[in-house]
């Protein structure tokens, strides 16, 4: 019976470590932020539009900046 309890405790400890590792991974993912070259808003790099060496939050802002420069 004690063996079973120890096994359950071990599973809980391992589960806790896995959850902590997962949450830490998410923090580093969110940590990658870029700012829009048009409006300056900060957003995740994975959602960014990268065009002409600039980051944009949406296609509309890219188009606006492009028409302003030309």
HEC string for 42-68: EEEHHHCEEECCEEECCHHHHHHHHHH
Burial grade of 47 (CB within 10 A; 0-12, 13-18, 19 or more): exposed
Binding residue (CB under 5 A) for Zn ion from 11, 39, 52, 63: 39
CB of 37 to Zn ion, least distance (A): 8
Interface residue with Zn ion, options 36, 55, 62, 65 (CB under 5 A):
36
With CB under 5 A as the contact rule, which of the stretches 8-16, 22-30, 45-53, 61-69 interacts with Zn ion? 61-69
**Which residues are near Zn ion by CB under 5 A?**
36, 38-39, 57, 61
């Amino acid at each position: 019976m004690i063996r079973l309890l120890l096994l359950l405790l071990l599973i809980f400890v391992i589960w806790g470590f896995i959850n902590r590792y997962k949450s830490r991974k998410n923090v580093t993912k969110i940590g990658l932020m870029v700012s829009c070259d048009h409006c300056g808003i900060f957003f995740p790099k994975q959602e960014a539009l990268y065009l002409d060496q600039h980051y944009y939050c949406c296609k509309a802002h890219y188009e606006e900046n492009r028409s302003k420069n030309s």
